[in-house]
């Protein structure tokens, strides 16, 4: 069995929740895309990262069913694990920084896969949502405190690979921040926390806590 680390990314203030991530630190053990896709499907995480160059931060990201040019929580988790100033993804170079308990990445909204951002009138409505049938990828959100930039969100990938709800989704937070044009403090899923902040020239920072599971 290929060696891999398991992280939880975008954990809550008490260290709980977050989205699990598999990271294969030595991507050379599985150089073929088909083999990487097969391992990602076997592991079953919402994303699995293969590190092709740990010093330069070159990474390759897979869901159980497809390869992604960029994804938020895999970049945040891998940035924390490798402690490098940047990550190189097929979408572009992702800036990274560590700031106390938070790990930050800097990326562009156009790198994120398409998502349907669906606003609701209250956080309670978002909490009460049932998982929709497979179809479009929906990011359901509502203001908890608009003045303070606090958002309640849930993510439904709409896939048929067994992942009905994504606990913490950096790419969707990136898109929402781009839409609203302001810094956000997002509580997603059961209790994950994502922080975002627009930057000059179309860049957006996304940050969160990372814990090593095993």
| pLDDT confidence of residue 54 | 96
**Does 91 share its domain with 120?**
no
Q: Are the CB atoms for 91 and 111 separated by under 8 Å?
A: yes
| pLDDT confidence of residue 153 | 98
| pLDDT confidence of residue 214 | 84
**Does 116 share its domain with 77?**
no
Model-level pTM?
A: 0.93
| pLDDT confidence of residue 156 | 94
Which residues contact residue 109 at a Cβ distance below 8 angstroms, ignoring those fewer than 6 apart? 174, 175, 177, 178, 202, 204
What is the domain-level CATH number for residue 86? 3.10.310.10
* Number of folded domains that form the chain: 2
**Does 10 share its domain with 62?**
yes
Range of the domain at 42: 5-95
Q: Where are the alpha helices (DSSP H) in the chain?
A: 33-43, 72-82, 123-127, 170-180
**Does 196 share its domain with 160?**
yes
Q: Are the CB atoms for 46 and 55 separated by under 8 Å?
A: no
- Tens of pLDDT along 158-195? 876 677 898 999 999 999 999 999 999 999 999 999 99
Q: Give domain status of residue 86, yes or no.
A: yes
What distance in Å separates the CA atoms of residue 18 and residue 210, rounded to the nearest whole number?
A: 8
Q: Give domain status of residue 214, yes or no.
A: no
For residues 44-63, average pLDDT: 96
Q: Is the pLDDT of residue 77 over 80?
A: yes
For residues 116-142, average pLDDT: 94
């Amino acid at each position: 069995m290929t060696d891999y680390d398991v992280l939880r990314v975008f954990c809550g203030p008490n260290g709980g929740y977050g989205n699990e991530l598999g990271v294969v630190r030595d991507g050379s053990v599985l150089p073929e895309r088909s083999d990487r896709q097969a391992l990602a499907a076997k592991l079953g995480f919402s994303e699995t990262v293969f590190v092709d160059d740990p010093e330069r931060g070159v990474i390759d990201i897979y869901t159980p069913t497809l390869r992604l040019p960029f994804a938020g929580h895999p970049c945040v988790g891998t940035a924390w694990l490798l402690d490098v100033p940047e990550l190189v993804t097929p979408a572009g170079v992702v800036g990274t920084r560590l700031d106390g308990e938070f790990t930050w990445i800097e990326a562009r909204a156009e790198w994120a896969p398409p998502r349907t951002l669906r606003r609701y009138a209250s956080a309670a409505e978002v909490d009460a949502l049932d998982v929709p049938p497979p179809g479009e990828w929906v990011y359901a959100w509502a203001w908890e405190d608009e003045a303070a930039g606090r958002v309640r969100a849930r993510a439904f990938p709409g896939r048929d690979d067994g992942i009905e709800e994504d606990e913490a989704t950096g790419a969707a937070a990136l898109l929402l921040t781009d839409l609203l044009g302001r810094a956000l403090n997002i509580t997603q899923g059961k209790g994950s926390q994502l922080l975002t902040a627009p930057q000059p020239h179309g860049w957006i920072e996304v940050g969160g806590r990372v814990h090593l599971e095993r």
